[in-house]
Amino acid sequence: MTDAYDFSDRIERVAPSATLAISNLAAEKEAEGADIVDLSVGEPDFDTPENIVEAGKDALDAGHTGYTSSNGIPQLKEAIAEKLRGTGIDADADEVIVTPGGKQALYETFQTLIDEGDEVVLLDPAWVSYEAMTKLAGGDLSRVDLSPHGFQLEPALDELAETVSDDTELLVVNSPSNPTGAVFSETALEGVRDLAVEHDIAVISDEIYERIVYDAEHVSLASLDGMADRTITVNGFSKAYSMTGWRLGYIHAKGDFVGEAGKLHSHSVSCAVNFVQHAGVEALENTDEAVAEMREAFADRRDLLVDLFDEHGIDVDVGDGAFYMMLPVDEDDQAWCEAAIEEASVACVPGSAFNAPGYARISYAASAERLREAVDRLVANDLL
């Protein structure tokens, strides 16, 4: 025990990521020989598409191993701007920062905008790291609960209107949503736009699950009239291209944002990994077929899980995107998840981690066989 460290208030305000904590626990148990069905971490179970891997290897062979310019290589920034223009966002390459993962893009955004005491509004259930990033920046949280509305935003717009005010600094929108899979309707996003314009609020649009949408249409918030100058669009390669370990993401925003956030970027990470950025260009330009195949596989798994739960009389508010669903469980979701892993060897994340007690988040990025096995084990242990 040492008392040499006087930890910052900032770091003491937050807990480790609950999603990563559960998947670490599952990995530890597996290392000890247990057979865990791990439905905890949000990570596609596919290999990175071959053309992307080859592009990464080619970039290494070509010697792309040094620093790049801090905000990213020009080819990737241009490919990202082109991609954003494809979803109706008025984007230029010099409005982009390429980051080591979407998480870093979000972290830089919170740090760039939030001062001590600034109000940040989250839509619950909300992904674990938004709360932690708000607290690390010193912000105060206000929350709107979408759970009573089948996790949809449109029916909760009145509550959102009551929550935001001229004092709100930042609103975080994540569609498709982690942890619910909900895809917000264009009407809902227009409602967000109206409130953001009325109260002069900046909005993070975290679109990392944008390519994993089934029976709905993804709308980029920054493409709506009035939103171009107040939206920070965050995205990443982890989910769409099954590139979680490559660590690649980006920020797009207008005006001075990139200049200001770029200061933090240059003083912290310097740049994203050089050869990974080259692989990112290939991902954006030549991977549509593989992305579509993965999306279809996710859709089949979602439908399978819904059927399996239905057989046991459990109704889930299933979303049209991402690869998550919120399973209603006991009020004490922590205890339920503990029993699930300890007794049934099935790992899920307690809804409380997303400010949604009474649910367990299931990541269905697993094979049909493992999903069936998970449900069988939960039933056998009286957890369903």
Q: Which residues bind ligand GLU (CB under 6 A)?
A: 17, 19-20, 41-42, 103, 127-129, 178
Return the residue of 64, 77, 103, 252 that touches ligand PMP, per CB under 6 A: 103
Q: How far is the CB of 62 from ligand GLU (least distance, A)?
A: 31
Q: Which stretch binds ligand PMP (CB under 6 A): 64-72, 96-104, 149-157, 313-321?
A: 96-104
Chain residue whose CB lies nearest ligand GLU: 42
Cα angle, residue 271 at apex, residues 13 and 278 outer, rounded to 5°:
130
Q: Which is nearer to ligand GLU, 41 or 81 (CB)?
A: 41
With beta carbons less than 8 A apart as the criterion, state whether 171 and 121 touch.
yes
Rg of the chain's alpha carbons, rounded to an integer? Answer: 21
Q: Which is nearer to ligand GLU, 64 or 302 (CB)?
A: 302
Rounded Cα distance between 125 and 169, Å, is 20
Residue 242: name its binding partner from ligand GLU, ligand PMP, none (Cβ under 5 to 8 Å by kind).
Answer: none
The full DSSP string for 12-66 is HT----HHHHHHHHHHHHHHTT---EE--S----SPPPHHHHHHHHHHHHTT--S
Query: Nearest Cα to 95, choosing from 227, 251, 237?
Result: 251
Q: Which stretch binds ligand PMP (CB under 6 A): 112-120, 236-244, 281-289, 340-348?
A: 236-244
Return the residue of 134, 220, 231, 238 that touches ligand PMP, per CB under 6 A: 238
Instruction: Decide if residue 244 touches ligand PMP (CB under 6 A).
Output: yes
Residue 71: name its binding partner from ligand GLU, ligand PMP, none (Cβ under 5 to 8 Å by kind).
Answer: none
Residue 223: name its binding partner from ligand GLU, ligand PMP, none (Cβ under 5 to 8 Å by kind).
Answer: none
Q: How far is the CB of 2 from ligand GLU (least distance, A)?
A: 30
Q: Which is nearer to ligand GLU, 111 or 129 (CB)?
A: 129
Q: How far is the CB of 237 from ligand GLU (least distance, A)?
A: 13
Q: Which is nearer to ligand PMP, 364 or 384 (CB)?
A: 364
Q: Which is nearer to ligand GLU, 26 or 164 (CB)?
A: 26
Q: How far is the CB of 247 from ligand GLU (least distance, A)?
A: 11
Residue 128: name its binding partner from ligand GLU, ligand PMP, none (Cβ under 5 to 8 Å by kind).
Answer: ligand GLU
Q: Which residues contact 34 (CB under 8 A, 6 or more apart)?
A: 345
Q: Which is nearer to ligand PMP, 84 or 378 (CB)?
A: 84
Q: Which is nearer to ligand PMP, 151 or 378 (CB)?
A: 151
Q: How is the chain split among helix, strand and coil, in percent rounded to 5?
A: 45, 15, 40
Q: How far is the CB of 273 from ligand GLU (least distance, A)?
A: 18
Q: Which is nearer to ligand GLU, 316 or 353 (CB)?
A: 353
Longest dimension (CA), the chain: 57
For tokens 């200049």, name the residue: 259
Q: How far is the CB of 129 from ligand PMP (least distance, A)?
A: 7
Query: Nearest Cα to 318, choosing from 355, 361, 352?
Result: 361
Cis peptide leading into residue 125 (ω within 30°): yes
Residues paired with 41 in a beta bridge: none
Q: Burial code of 131-147, b = ≥16 C-beta within 10 A, e = fewer? A: bbbbbbbbbeebebbbb
The full DSSP string for 127-144 is -HHHHHHHHHHT-EEEEE
Q: How far is the CB of 56 from ligand PMP (least distance, A)?
A: 16
Instruction: Decide if residue 236 touches ligand PMP (CB under 6 A).
Output: yes
Instruction: Decide if residue 42 touches ligand PMP (CB under 6 A).
Output: yes
| SS3 (DSSP) at 199 | helix
For tokens 């609020």, name the residue: 201
| SS3 (DSSP) at 325 | strand
Q: How far is the CB of 159 from ligand GLU (least distance, A)?
A: 25
Note the residues at the interface with ligand PMP (CB under 6 A): 42, 101-103, 127, 174, 178, 206, 208, 236, 238, 244, 249
